[in-house]
Structure 1
């Protein structure tokens, strides 16, 4: 199964929302800054809310990470569901709030021949 195209969007607090394959992941504002300015990988977080017998419980887990591509021109988002890439220029525009969203393109894993 190949990964679907995803979407990168900004939040009012300055973080980012990564929407892929019916899941909504988040990258915290301080992690976005560390990724853009220092090149530090950023954790990609998934929040789940469960309703069990009238009790609401929440669970926050790190499901992957976002990192600069070795060429330095793109950001690669890795999750358990797959990997996606977005140009660094688009990532920065969304992070600064200059663009509402940007598409994430699936990375197809290399197949050994």
Structure 2
């Protein structure tokens, strides 16, 4: 099964929203800066809110990570649901607020054993 395309958008606080396969994950503003300027991998998190009998609980989990590819021209986002790629220039434009969003393209890894 091939992952669906996704969208990358900016938050008001300067972080990024990764929207893929009906899930919304986030990259914190400080992690976005570290990813862009230092090339350090950034955790991709998801907040889940559960309501059980009037009690509301919230938990934040790390769903994957985002890293600059070895060539330095794209960012690969690895999540439990699959992997996506976005050009580094597009991610930078969204992070700076110059673009409202950018498309995420599914990354299909070749099966070496076929």
- The TM-score normalised by the length of structure 2 is 0.98
Determine the structure 2 residue equivalent to 1:56.
56
1:110 Cα shift?
1.1
Report the counterpart of residue 104 of structure 1 in structure 2: 104
How many equivalent pairs are there? 113
Give the secondary structure class of the aligned counterpart of 1:31.
helix
CA deviation profile, 1:56-80 (whole Å, cap 9, x unmatched): 1001000100000111000000000
* Secondary structure, aligned partner of 1:33: helix
SS at match of 1:30: helix
User: 2:5 & 2:18 partners in 1: Cα distance?
Assistant: 11
> 4+ runs of 1 displaced by more than 4 Å?
none
**Partner SS, residue 99 of structure 1:** coil
Q: Note if 1:15 corresponds to 2:21.
A: no
Please, what is the CA RMSD of the aligned residues? Answer: 0.5
Whole-angstrom distance in 2 between the partners of 1:37 and 1:60: 25
Q: Distance in 2 between matches of 1:110 and 1:61?
A: 28
SS at match of 1:40: coil
Which residue does 2:27 correspond to in 1? 27
Task: Kindly provide the CA deviation profile for residues 57-104 of structure 1, in whole angstroms up to 9, marking residues without a partner as x.
Answer: 001000100000111000000000000000000000000000000000
